[in-house]
Amino acid sequence: MDKFIKDGLEKIDLPGKKKEVSQLNTEMSSEGFWDDKDKAAEVSQRASNLTRLIETWEGIVDEVDELTGLLSEISPEKDPKAAEEFRVENGEMMLGTWQSIFFIDLDGEGRRGEE
């Protein structure tokens, strides 16, 4: 699963998006920026959209980190039911049904049906 997150982060260029938001915020705080209402609305909307995208991906990364930390606690001996839901093969957490559904909208590469 880490591979999917890393690939997604590379594709969206999170550092580049953060830099763009910073530049847009600087632009929006400049004198006279709000005089051209159409351009101001466009720039403001772009900054808002990028900020939501960044927050979404940072939330995904945090969730994956938390789940990865829990993997060491999940074993068939300790919790057989949880071990069935979180399969680990070759040190990588494999996608279960709900994770596959979750990633369909994010990877954009037609991965439907793959597990």
Expressed in percent and rounded to 5, the helix, strand and coil fractions of the chain are 70, 5, 25
Rounded Cα distance, 70 and 93, in Å:
11
Tens digit of pLDDT for each residue in 28-43? 999 999 999 999 999 9
Q: Which domains does the chain have, with CATH numbers?
A: 2-107 (1.20.58)
List, for residues 8-62, the tens digit of each pLDDT value.
Answer: 788 889 999 999 999 999 999 999 999 999 999 999 999 999 999 999 989 888 8
With b meaning 16 or more CB within 10 Å and e meaning fewer, what string describes 34-56? Answer: eeeeeeeeebbeebeebeeebee
